[in-house]
Every structure is written in C-alpha cells, then in structure tokens.
C-alpha cells in the first residue's frame, strides 16, 4: 500500500503519544513475546497468532478452556519457533515448514490452515492432557473482521479473536492495578491484557475515544483505526506463573468498566484494523498522533 509522505502528513492532533511496548503471541492463547520492533503486515504484527492449538474436531482452544496454556512459552529465532513449558523438553519447529493442509474453526469462521506434524501434536497433547494438534494459518486464507464494526472496510486478520491489533495504554493498566491493590489483590502485568501496541503519554482509557492512530515510521505513516472496544473474558484472570484461573480482575473491571456499547460487557483496550503501513516497522518510542472521536 502506498504510504503518505511525511512532509504532506498532518502534524496537529488532539493526542500525541508514544509506543511504550509491543507484544506478539505467536501461538494463540499461549505466552507473549515482548519486542522492541515489529513489522506490520496485512493481518497485524508479523507472526502474531500465526499458530493455534485445536482439538480433535479442529476447533480452537484457548486459556478460557485450558488456563494452563498460559504456561506455554514460545520464542522465535531467525529460523525456528521454540516452545517450552514446565516439565517438558523444548519443542523446536522450523518457521518455514508445515505438514498437510487442514481446515479448522476459530469462533464462527472455518478457515484453511496447515498441520504442524505429529511431533508438535504429541508435545501439546502431552502437556494439555488431551488430544490436540498445532496448526499454522494459511496466508492465502482471507479471514475478515466483522464489517459491522469496520464500517464496510475489508480488514484481514489471522487466528486472533477478530481484529488485527489490540491497543491498550500504560495509564489504563495503572488504574486497574491501583484498584486491585486497594482491594488487597495483586497487581497484574501488561501481558495479562494481551495487547499488541501499548501507548504512553495518554490518560487512562483515552484509547476508547481515539479514532485512527498515525504512527511515524521510517517507511512512512502507519494508520491503525480503532473500531471496537475489547470485551474482556476470563483470560486476564489467569495467573501466568501457575496457569490457574482467578476472578479478581473480572470482578474489579465489573465495578467500573461495564460498557453500554457492548451490552454491559466489561471492556479494556480497543481493537484496531490496519488502514495503511503494511511493511512498516513499528518500534518502541515511535511518535503516535490521534484525534478524539468523542
């Protein structure tokens, strides 16, 4: 996609922020990798939710059903995906190798994917104590976000829940942690909220009110449009140290983050789609401009 030249791009915004953190989750619902920089693709940050665990029927699994998935920690090298978990030997998979094509289900979508082979299936089945397979998203598959929320824009995504990028802020997490600690609960890390892009320099929950993020990169201006509040499930309550499910985060959010736009569901963070910037590299510290929509 053609980038807008920096010299012609608007410089006045309601909000001027910076990228504080970047995260990807190579295997859906498994551990995070924090990055200093990440390439933006047409489905989100490169290799974010590129792999997924499915059951015997090809239906996706997440921490909602299997909280111990939080203990599965992927790392990436130039050529390999390496997966570790307590009590397990490391699993090493070549990034550019797959087995046979398969069809799998993620939420209401049936999509094409590639099985990652028996070794990966045995490893994940052993750790999760059930028969599962590891699959990789087929890049030729066109899975679109809900056009009800994108207002007719065809926005691609991979194995994520439905949108390419999740945006949160440092200030929003601080408010949540202040409320948790005031109630005698432990503060949580940003990884528990599973964002891709974390902003600093804005007030708590300002991300709710922003339209399109304009991120200045070396390649041009990337544009991420906020389209839907992120309704929170049980996953932020999973302890990343022991894989056990709690309730403190959900209970706390329920006390102050019920969202009328989402039929009363508690929300934190904004789902975003990519308007421009495919191939650009996002980096921690980059300037972000945005305007309020209300």
Single pTM value for the model: 0.94
pLDDT of res. 11:
60
Rounded distance between C-alpha atoms, residue 33 and residue 22, angstroms? 8
Which residues on neighbouring strands pair with residue 15, listed in sequence order? 290
Mean pLDDT score of the chain, rounded to an integer? 95
* Residue 278 burial (C-beta neighbours within 10 Å; 0-12, 13-18, 19+): middle
pLDDT in tens, 89-147: 999 999 999 999 999 999 999 999 999 999 999 999 999 999 999 999 999 999 999 99
pLDDT of res. 12:
78
pLDDT in tens, 156-166: 999 999 999 99
pLDDT of res. 261:
87
pLDDT along the chain (294 residues), means of 10: 40 89 98 98 98 98 98 97 98 95 97 97 98 97 96 96 98 98 98 98 96 95 97 97 97 96 95 97 97 86
Q: How many CB atoms lie within 10 A of CB 261?
A: 11
* Residue 39 burial (C-beta neighbours within 10 Å; 0-12, 13-18, 19+): middle
Rounded distance between C-alpha atoms, residue 84 and residue 154, angstroms? 36
pLDDT of res. 185:
97
pLDDT of res. 187:
98
**CATH 2.40.33.20 describes domain 6-289:** yes
């Amino acid at each position: 996609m053609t980038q807008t030249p920096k010299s012609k791009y608007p410089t006045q915004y309601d909000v001027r922020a910076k990228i504080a953190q970047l995260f990807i989750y190579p295997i859906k619902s498994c551990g995070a990798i924090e990055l200093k920089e990440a390439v933006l693709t047409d489905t989100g940050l490169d290799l974010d939710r590129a792999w997924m665990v499915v059951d015997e029927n090809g239906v996706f699994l997440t921490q909602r059903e299997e909280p111990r998935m939080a203990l599965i920690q992927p790392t990436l090298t130039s050529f390999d995906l390496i997966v570790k978990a307590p009590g397990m030997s490391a699993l090493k998979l070549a990034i550019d190798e797959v087995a046979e094509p398969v069809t799998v289900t993620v939420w209401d979508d049936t999509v094409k994917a590639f099985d990652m082979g028996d070794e990966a299936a045995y490893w994940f089945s052993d750790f999760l104590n059930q028969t599962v397979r590891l699959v990789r998203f087929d890049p030729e598959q066109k899975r679109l976000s809900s056009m009800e929320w994108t207002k007719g824009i065809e926005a691609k995504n991979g194995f994520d829940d439905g949108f390419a990028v999740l945006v949160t802020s440092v200030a929003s997490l601080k408010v949540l942690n202040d409320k948790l600690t005031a109630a005698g609960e432990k503060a949580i890390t940003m990884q528990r909220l599973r964002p891709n892009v974390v902003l600093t320099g804005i007030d708590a929950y300002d991300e709710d009110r922003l339209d399109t993020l304009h991120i200045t990169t070396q390649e041009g201006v990337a544009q991420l449009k906020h389209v839907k509040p992120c309704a929170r499930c049980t996953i932020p309550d999973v302890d990343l140290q022991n894989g056990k499910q709690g309730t403190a985060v959900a209970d706390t959010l329920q006390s102050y983050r019920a969202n009328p736009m989402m039929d009363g569901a508690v929300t934190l963070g904004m789902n975003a789609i990519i308007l421009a910037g495919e191939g650009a590299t996002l980096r921690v510290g980059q300037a972000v401009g945005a305007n309020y929509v209300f």
